[in-house]
Structure 1
């Protein structure tokens, strides 16, 4: 066909790839892949792991390359449990053996899921295969232990290495710094003959998160080649401790110094602005995003949707959402959360139903948390909310979190089902969480159930100690029942212990702060 001057279209190339895969002709697959890239068809490829998995299953005798491609695909898409499941299936295969690449992907998945025990078991397989001296695998093991919080294990692997590269050093520095072991992180940093930018960045990131952020800035100013990640660590540190105007100052300096800003830079500063409802700053940064051509970035647009929603500008958020050509689950969740945050329960449910129809996206725990919240702000029957909750567990395999439990408790309390809500707390295994009993106590305040309220208040006090919330709520509930003697006794008890109702507070945008002219440059 090619010799005759004809060029295959995307449909024909798909069938050629399928045929080559069926026959196990890896070299033909690679040649076709090269042709696809050179011919510009790469932009038309549909990346679907479900399709890839179906093709993989159809291969009579898949090679280890085929296994690794699929495992790696699952890791890169964040589906770590699926990746590990596939790796364990490969490990059970008697006709083919895992290789170093298989192990690196599996260790990466263990790190993300914080499964240090499984990671250690995988390492025992590495030893069995005689790959324990592989530098890349050792680096992956250090990284895995670091992400699992097992700093001493990470250090042990590092110290036992025969050969080390710069990635080995940076991995152990990261393992220490990211877990707050700053003294050990500095120790490895000073032992490192030639620290690179990543070495400095890991140290800055750890200090900004666990130490004195001013010290992190001092290291930033003294490092040889700071990059956007170096500045982003400082930016993140300020946002995490709610020093938003300091974060904006850093953001402005990045622009003045022409530091390359990436998706993460804009997403983190927007998250800080969203937390204080700083609409003016948000709009200025939106202008910068458009000028830098990042207004089609899924990460940045998701942060924009979140910012506008939290600033009460739902229409702006909705317009941005609808204009984005490609959306991921984070984008959908940002818009669903935006509707929930602004009390538009009908839109939450409507968007959730649209999401369920999509082929390559599935609702996650965040999605369902917003759906349950929407049910409590709308005249949705309790049985319908229960259906959503049960579907989350049954159809999507999502384990309920304490937040889901609290949402259901509030929902049931609004409908007067506080006794059933109390039973559900134990059934879900959250009986030792004070926050769920707080939610039930609050629900009792709405439906005036004195008996369940007493029990819930007692649980809150046992689990959280004496605090104002339980006593204030009980005082209010006693007052609703005309039990003024109990009200007086509780108030005296609170005065004697120095307990008082917490004052409410809210964030407002400070309008008299001078905006940075560089923000819209």
Structure 2
């Protein structure tokens, strides 16, 4: 080796050695930084003295992590978009997109496009997740076009992420299109379809997709089963629910809190209280959601004695504290069963903060319902006047139900007009007023309501009997 070759090798070694020393120094400083000011100083050094070092993926990883820990991700964003002209590697871009807020990550993706930095199959799931969080379908369709053009639709992870975006905004037509076009599908693909249909209320489609999945010999996972069980509960598909339970037992799945609670909710909602109790007792671990599902099932079955017994046991023996939902269920059960004193006692306990929280507007609505259903209209009105919230639709609806049941037409009228004020675009309250004024023989008032209905575009030619059946009270 001649002198020139020796000099080149030595120079190269010195360069890389110096570069490695710089890199290790920067990484050490980033890992040991204790303030935002340190990060700003390191960023300045990267810009002024080490113009290429920021492109090293290891340095970038530590710099972005340090920025995240000090809530300085804007600094990282600016470093890779404004201060330096050289293009970062797509791996660095992906790391940054994953760390940024959804809106800022989309801005960075746009920067990648403007600067001809090609996204890869790891980029698109991150961008699609940001779009899903923002519920941005129109931008999602543009990204969909990018995915197709760059040939990433065959990547199952990208396809699933695109499906997830469409499902999250209820665009099940687009979701199904992506599903049908995918060259391969896995349990996640099928689960997204089942979940998406369930969330937008298309229960028959959700169940038929679940059945197709099973026929395709794709083994469901826990998320699939939880959503399938929720669908069964929503549409009363007890046969499918029982089949799912048998599958769980046949495959020796553990009934953890999530799966067990889903089964309890399905059985209880479908009126199979004994089956829900069997599942409930078999679970090794329960949480407040498990208890709420079981107690709500008992309440739905109008078994208020058992509701109160299990509520007492939950409160005293298990160490699981009831939450706001528990108290709503129990108070509502008392209201529907006419247990006024017991309901008032429970509400007083709430007022005394015995459960660790004070009553909210829904609890007050339950109390109004309790009193109004038992004919204590004046007492219910006193509660409404003294409650620390503005009366909600639930409150006035509860009062209206009680007043109608006990023939107090004047107070029914008062409650109905308050409902019209709160929900001027809901037709059922106008129909209720028409029914009331017909019963009261107030024909001029009836005409005024019909004028309002015409202005709102509501029909005014319903017979009184039809009104009562078609617009049954629900609040």
Q: What TM bracket, shorter-length normalisation? A: 0.5 to 0.7
> What do residues 324-354 of structure 1 show as CA deviations (whole Å, max 9, x unaligned)?
1222222212111111111112222222222
Does 2:107 match 1:156? yes
**Does structure 1 conserve the Cα–Cα contact (< 8 Å) formed by 2:409 and 2:440?**
no
**Does structure 2 conserve the Cα–Cα contact (< 8 Å) formed by 1:177 and 1:203?**
no
Compared with structure 1, are the counterparts of its residues 356 and 287 closer, same or farther at alpha carbon in structure 2 (3 Å cutoff)?
same
CA distance in 2, matches of 1:313, 1:199: 41
Q: What residue is the counterpart of 1:422 in the other structure?
A: 384
Q: What residue is the counterpart of 1:184 in the other structure?
A: 139
Give the superposition deviation at 1:489. 5.5
**Does structure 2 conserve the Cα–Cα contact (< 8 Å) formed by 1:437 and 1:457?**
yes
406-415 vs 130-139, which moves further: 130-139
**Does structure 2 conserve the Cα–Cα contact (< 8 Å) formed by 1:302 and 1:334?**
yes
> What do residues 82-125 of structure 1 show as CA deviations (whole Å, max 9, x unaligned)?
xxxxxxxxxxxxx987999xxxxxxxxxxxxxxxxxxxxx9794
237-246 vs 313-322, which moves further: 237-246
CA distance in 2, matches of 1:413, 1:447: 9
Q: What residue is the counterpart of 1:485 in the other structure?
A: 441
**Does structure 1 conserve the Cα–Cα contact (< 8 Å) formed by 2:255 and 2:283?**
yes
CA distance in 2, matches of 1:388, 1:263: 39
> What do residues 50-100 of structure 1 show as CA deviations (whole Å, max 9, x unaligned)?
xxxxxxxxxxxxxxxxxxxxxxxxxxxxxxxxxxxxxxxxxxxxx987999
Q: What residue is the counterpart of 2:290 in the other structure?
A: 331
Give the superposition deviation at 1:366. 2.1
Name which of 343, 351, 357 aligns with 1:390.
351
- The gaps in structure 1 that reach 5 residues or longer are 1-94, 101-121, 147-151, 507-521
**Does structure 1 conserve the Cα–Cα contact (< 8 Å) formed by 2:400 and 2:412?**
yes
**Does structure 2 conserve the Cα–Cα contact (< 8 Å) formed by 1:139 and 1:167?**
no
Matches within 5 A, 1:111-260: 125-127=70-72, 138-139=96-97, 141-142=99-100, 145-146=101-102, 152-156=103-107, 159=110, 169-191=124-146, 194=152, 196-210=155-169, 212-260=171-219
CA distance in 2, matches of 1:380, 1:154: 55
> CA RMSD, aligned part only?
4.0
- TM-score, scaled relative to structure 1: 0.61
Compared with structure 1, are the counterparts of its residues 350 and 277 closer, same or farther at alpha carbon in structure 2 (3 Å cutoff)?
same
Matches within 5 A, 1:336-375: 336-357=295-316, 361-375=320-334
Compared with structure 1, are the counterparts of its residues 323 and 188 closer, same or farther at alpha carbon in structure 2 (3 Å cutoff)?
same
Q: What residue is the counterpart of 2:86 in the other structure?
A: none
Name which of 253, 260, 265 aligns with 1:306.
265
Q: What residue is the counterpart of 1:437 in the other structure?
A: 396
Matches within 5 A, 1:255-266: 255-266=214-225
Compared with structure 1, are the counterparts of its residues 360 and 125 closer, same or farther at alpha carbon in structure 2 (3 Å cutoff)?
farther
Give the superposition deviation at 1:477. 5.8
Greater relative contact order: 1 or 2 (C-alpha under 8 angstroms, separation 6 or more)?
Answer: 1
CA distance in 1, matches of 2:311, 2:94: 42
Q: What residue is the counterpart of 2:87 in the other structure?
A: none
Rg: which structure is higher?
2
Give the superposition deviation at 1:209. 4.2
SS in structure 1 of the partner of residue 285 of structure 2: coil
Give the superposition deviation at 1:317. 0.9
**Does structure 1 conserve the Cα–Cα contact (< 8 Å) formed by 2:264 and 2:280?**
yes
Compared with structure 1, are the counterparts of its residues 248 and 168 closer, same or farther at alpha carbon in structure 2 (3 Å cutoff)?
same
**Does structure 2 conserve the Cα–Cα contact (< 8 Å) formed by 1:228 and 1:259?**
yes
> What do residues 295-346 of structure 1 show as CA deviations (whole Å, max 9, x unaligned)?
5233222122111112211111111111112222222121111111111122
CA distance in 2, matches of 1:407, 1:355: 21
- TM-score, scaled relative to structure 2: 0.66
CA distance in 2, matches of 1:257, 1:130: 49
CA distance in 2, matches of 1:469, 1:306: 30
CA distance in 1, matches of 2:468, 2:327: 31
* Count of residues in correspondence between the two structures: 376
SS in structure 2 of the partner of residue 377 of structure 1: helix
CA distance in 2, matches of 1:303, 1:309: 10
Name which of 223, 226, 249 aligns with 1:290.
249
Compared with structure 1, are the counterparts of its residues 362 and 331 closer, same or farther at alpha carbon in structure 2 (3 Å cutoff)?
same
